[in-house]
Amino acid sequence: MKRVLCIVLDSVGCGNAPDASSYGDAGADTLGHLYQRIPGFRLPALESLGLAELLHLERTVEILPNASFAKLTEKSAGKDTTTGHWELMGCALEQPFATYESFPAELVDELAARGGVEFLGNFAASGTEILEQLGAEHLASGKPILYTSADSVLQIAAHEEIFGLERLWDLCKTARSLLDEKGIRIGRVIARPFLGSGPGDFQRTGNRHDYSLMPGETVLNQLQRAGAQTIGVGKISDIFAGSGVSDSYPTKSNAEGMAAIEKLWSAKQTRDQLIFANLVDFDSLFGHRRNPAGYAQCLVEFDAWLSRFLPKISADDLVILTADHGNDPYAPGTDHTREQVPLLVLNADRPIHDGDFACVSRLIAQRLIPGAN
């Protein structure tokens, strides 16, 4: 039986894409800037897979003999999680998702009527900023907070205890259904629960849920038809609206995600298997909050885990590490950055080369789908 592990390091880009200036991201370089500006910053386990060579840095560790590496450039328009993950799995977007500065009044009114609520907000903002602006009013009024960002997202924030977690999730499901009914191509509806008693005390919790647009055909669907098991770790099932995902293990942090990977890796296999994981803390906790020191430490912690995990990989296992977009903590603003992403592979079936994000889907198919090329 064959086994593939694909880990997406959410937002860990490696230099601005050729069209980055069209997105306002000229010069963005998530990994490059961390290496340049954080004294003593090194990632020896990732560098043993070729990261230093990929970034044109001085080599401090030997590259593993079964490692190969490349840079991937996104073909789809956009720089969001859904677009990146879909293309990684072979579903490139010919038409970009819809984005808004604020949502049309008729859409908001219908969602409010269906959900039995009134909304605060309805403008573009970062998640932490909008809680400081409107969190106190939400506590006083009970009205959920509606907002968006530069990405194709409709986000609703509400206090877990005062508004209710299940109620928030149901409201977001209603929003997803409404958008789909109207043919509005917003990539994700995101439930953003939080706790706290007032400004300065508000904290988003790990009970977030993403409700994605249904993707087109992906390698996940192809794997299922070929009889392989497809396991999502983290928000993978949410990103693909459950399509092509046999089993899902949601997580609230990188630590939970890495623990889930280890547990799945040690479990007995009964058929060919893809474990597809997203580790989100780089992006959600440090990239959007423009916290370079936190971002670097988060990478160091992952790298330490990876160094312990690498010996558990056999020569028959295919392991892929990549990313879905950038989020340079040194860039202006709080949004994702349009970047190329690293592709680090152990035990590839053939030499890998720079290409589009869908290179990942082809590597997986070559290993797990008979006759794929």
**3-class state of residue 72 by DSSP:** strand
**Cα–Cα distance between 302 and 315 in angstroms, integer?**
22
Amino acid letter for position 364: I
From 38, 17, 15, select the one nearest 298 (Cα to Cα): 38
Question: Phi and psi of 294, rounded to 5°?
Answer: -65, -40
Residue 56 annotated in ligand binding: no
Give Cβ neighbours of residue 195 (< 8 Å, ≥ 6 apart).
159, 160, 161, 202, 203, 205
Does 10 carry a binding-site annotation?
A: yes
* Biggest CA pair distance of the chain: 61
The continuous run of DSSP H or E covering 342 comes out as strand 341-346
Three-state secondary-structure class, residue 275: strand
Distant-in-sequence, close-in-space partners of 105: CB < 8 Å, separation ≥ 6: none
Q: Which residues contact 311 (CB under 8 A, 6 or more apart)?
A: none
Q: How many angstroms separate the CA atoms of 283 and 128, rounded?
A: 14
| Residue 8 tokens, joined | 């997406």
283 is in an annotated binding site: yes
User: Is residue 108 within a helix (H) or strand (E), and if so which, with residue range?
Assistant: helix 105-115
For residue 159, say whether it is annotated as part of any ligand binding site.
Answer: no
Would you say 336 is a known binding-site residue?
yes
The CA angle 201-202-204, to the nearest 5 degrees, is: 140
Which residues fall within 8 angstroms of residue 329, CB to CB, at 6 or more apart?
A: 30, 33, 34, 286, 287, 289, 290, 291, 292, 294, 295
Could you tell me which residues are annotated as the binding site? 10, 283, 288, 324-325, 336
Residues belonging to the binding site for Mn(2+) are 10, 283, 288, 324-325, 336
